[in-house]
């Protein structure tokens, strides 16, 4: 177990686009494990590699008490027309919350830690988390999408 240092709003790395991961090696697996530990330590439900200073397309998500998704090169294939608006926060923007609209359902694709291409249909909080974390990979913060602040 290793904790990584979080990067916070104002750090330029959070505004850069992450690079595709071309091969899954020990460094990537360690990064994903460290990201899970860091997410849990900070009471998060998701974490993207740029949030720990690594410009790689990797995210981890756990919105269901221990069901961890380790996603390499995730991308959204489709979104529902119906949206959900809810309060969001972010480990990289502490003390800030705001209402953000996201699709209620998404279909996403990612590579898992064993190199398998996985397609997932997610809704509710998982769909929201996938969108939020993929935004991080593209240099977008939830604060860019706030409808109203709390």
Residues with catalytic function: 133
R_g of the chain computed on alpha carbons: 14
β partners of residue 100: 86
β partners of residue 103: 83
């Amino acid at each position: 177990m290793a904790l990584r240092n979080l990067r916070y709003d104002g750090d330029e790395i959070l505004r850069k686009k992450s690079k595709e991961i071309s091969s899954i090696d020990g460094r990537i697996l360690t990064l994903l494990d460290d990201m899970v530990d860091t997410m849990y330590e900070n009471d998060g439900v998701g974490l993207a590699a740029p949030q720990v200073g690594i410009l790689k397309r990797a995210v981890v998500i756990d919105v269901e008490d221990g069901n961890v998704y380790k996603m390499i090169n995730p991308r959204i294939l489709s979104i529902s027309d119906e949206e959900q608006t809810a309060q969001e926060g972010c480990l990289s923007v502490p003390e800030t919350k705001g209402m953000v609209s996201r699709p209620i359902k998404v279909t996403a694709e990612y590579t898992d830690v064993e190199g398998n291409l996985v397609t997932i249909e997610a809704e509710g909080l998982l769909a929201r988390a996938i969108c939020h974390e993929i935004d991080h990979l593209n240099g977008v913060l939830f604060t860019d999408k706030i409808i109203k602040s709390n």
